[in-house]
Structure 1
Amino acid sequence: MEGGNEKSPNKVEKEAYHVLHKLPPGDSPYVRAKHMQLVEKDPDAAIVLFWKAINAGDRVDSALKDMAVVMKQQDRAEEAIEAIKLEEQIELLKQKLRRIYKGETFNGKPTKTARSHGRKFHVTIKQETSKILGNLGWAYMQQTNYIAAEVVYRKAQFIDPDANKACNLGLCLIKQARYHEAWSVLEEVLQGKLFGSDDQKSRNRAEELLQELKPWESTNLTPPLRETSPEDAFVHGLDQLMSNWTTPSRSKRLPIFEEIYPYRDQLAC
């Protein structure tokens, strides 16, 4: 038949399948999660895939709601609530970064005055930005999104390095089976090269993580290839995202963000 609008039998069959099982079209993590939920009836696999969809930015709101439904059916209601709170926390931290970048928090100044226990003290833009990035990295770790956490921690360490975040970065690398890189990061803590390296808690944690690496000490393990996902738009392109938060002309953005830009090429490696 002429006209070119006739659908192929395979396409018609696929569309009928999705309609029958009330599945959205496509083959994204969210669609696969719905398939596990509605067709395979495998809630554990569905939850894993819903997390992948959330981490990939694939229909995040729907993925959160559907995952919460599955978790409640599995008597994991508290976990469902925590998952929603965690995603909200991540978005809140990103908003704080946007505000700092636009100069809305520090009013374009390099420091601000804070108060704790009735005492005033100065917080630098580097300290505040690194702190927020560290919190964001920890939130990603709770989602087991170690690739995202790694890049955010590297960003935080580039701005204002400290021993605690170095330990978290080391853990992210261990979770990705990148043992030699983790070893180098953790050794910096024990060698006293970072702020807070003299803190016994950080040193103990670094030593514990290094003990986990002992079996790999003499091997030449090739790091596994990283998976890519739409989440890379934020993770590996953190600097690029920052540059889109405000226009470059006559903005209040702070010098620290200009200093970060050269690090972009290292993140892409």
Structure 2
Amino acid sequence: MAVVMKQLNRSDEGIEAIKSFRYLCPSESQDSIDNLLLELYKKSGRIQEEAELLEHKLKTLEHDTHYGGRITIAKRSHGKQINLTIEQEKARILGNLAWVHLQLHNYGTAEQHYRNALSLEPDNNKLCNLAICLMRMDRIQEAKSLIEDVRLRGCLFQHLSSPSR
């Protein structure tokens, strides 16, 4: 029902439906429900609630109560099942949390989350977003350095992936 509400641009009603009925769903489906709830929060502009849920997901992951000590977890992305390491999932959540804090103008918190995410998994998108964060904090030279790193990595990747002549 919440998915249909999302498709009908009735995100707030979808959020209320999830909050009202999620207790009826088995524990194995709670992560999927959280992911749908995050999409609904994002779509309806409820950024603070999105941040709170991401914090909760991060704490759950760190305390390993949801994944039972597994090294990898199965996730669905765009209809396909993918396997992520716990570190990759943590980096994904940290990156999303950093983005939310960037939107909330909590630049110091966003910077911390981006740096933690990058320590787990290097990613040019997170580096660029960290540079934006640094610019907003008037740390222009540091931001320029990050952008240059991203540019050089992109050139190196293109060079390594192009066929030899």
By the TM > 0.5 criterion, same fold?
yes
| Secondary structure of residue in 2 paired with 1:109 | coil
- Mapped to 2, the partners of 1:165 and 1:109 lie a distance apart of 26
In structure 2, the partner of 1:234 is none
In structure 2, the partner of 1:95 is 56
Residue type of the partner of 2:52? E
**Normalising to structure 1: TM-score of the pair?**
0.40
5+ residue gaps, structure 1: 1-80, 199-269
More helix by share: 2
Residue type of the partner of 2:57? K
- Mapped to 2, the partners of 1:143 and 1:135 lie a distance apart of 13
Size of the aligned set, in residue pairs, is 113
1:107 and 2:72 correspond? no
Offset, 1:180? 1.2
| Secondary structure of residue in 1 paired with 2:74 | strand
1:177 and 2:138 correspond? yes
- Mapped to 2, the partners of 1:117 and 1:137 lie a distance apart of 22
Structure number with larger C-alpha Rg: 1
**Cα distance change on mapping 1:181 and 1:111 into 2, 3 Å:** same
Q: Alpha carbon RMSD of aligned pairs, Å?
A: 1.8
Offset, 1:107? 1.3
**Cα distance change on mapping 1:165 and 1:118 into 2, 3 Å:** closer
In structure 1, the partner of 2:149 is 188
2:84 aligns with one of 123, 129, 133:
123
In structure 1, the partner of 2:15 is none
In structure 2, the partner of 1:135 is 96
Greater RCO (CA < 8 Å, at least 6 residues apart): 1
Superposition map of 1:158-177 within 5 A: 158-177=119-138
**Normalising to structure 2: TM-score of the pair?**
0.63
- Mapped to 1, the partners of 2:81 and 2:102 lie a distance apart of 32
Shift >6 Å, 4+ stretches:
none
